[in-house]
Amino acid sequence: MVAPEFRGASGSVRGPKRRLRALAVGLVLALLPGAGKAGDLQPWSSPAPPELALTRLDAAALDLADMRGEPVIVHFFATWCGPCIEEMASLNALAQRRDPAVAILAVNVGEVPARLRSFFKARPVDFPVLLDEDRAAMKRWQVLGLPTSFVLDGQLRPAFKTEEPLDWTSPAVLRALAAVAKPGGENPSEERPEEERPKQDLSRTIADKNEGGAIR
């Protein structure tokens, strides 16, 4: 996971101090155990996903609330993030599989459309790219680093989350997505009710105590 850089409207880091700060953060993250390795999907417990209504790179409007019916991956990324570039190819491979059927939304953080058009002209993808130029969506979704991905089930309920780059076509990830994609499929974020315990026969308990002196 790479900490987000703070860029101006031109896409460049604002000032040499911030450039050095971003570089220092990137070096620290690169030295952390497991840095650069594929992460895992973790259960995501949240009452409801935050709002996500943004403009696509092709200028069309898109609202997550209108996508009920199949699982959705919400993926936050930036083109200056090395792990994000590698993961974008993995997400596109997942989109081309179409099994399990999962919608993918790639949310770009803080970059101008012209830069993105150039990027995706060289690396076309089969899913929408959304613009979060002011980072408002990133803040609502509490994204602390890039890449970060969220998985919602077909009812748009939180299911999984990962704050590390992921191989989206690995067997384990495909199994998790397939389980969420099934109608009435298992959602790891939902609390399961405790099994009802059999009611105790009080008359039998009292009789046992009278006979043996202890409740059996």
pLDDT in tens, 37-78: 446 899 998 889 999 999 999 999 999 999 999 999 999 999
Q: Classify domain 38-186 at the CATH superfamily level.
A: Glutaredoxin (3.40.30.10)
Contact 53, 63 (CB under 8 A): yes
Q: What is the pLDDT of residue 2?
A: 73
Span 20-42, pLDDT tens digits = 444 443 433 333 333 334 468 99
Residue 151, pLDDT score: 98
* CA 193 to mean position of chain CA atoms: 26
In this prediction, residue 210 carries a pLDDT of 46
How many DSSP H helices and E strands does the chain contain? 6, 8
**pLDDT at position 148, please?**
98
State the residue for tokens 């009435």. 184
Low pLDDT (below 70) residues in the chain: 4-39, 185-186, 188-216
Q: What single letter denotes the amino acid at residue 27?
A: L
Nearest to 157 by CA among 70, 81, 36, 78: 70
Cβ neighbour number for residue 172 with a 10 Å cutoff: 10
Q: Which residues pair with 105 in a beta bridge?
A: 74
**What is the pLDDT, as a whole number, of residue 34?**
37
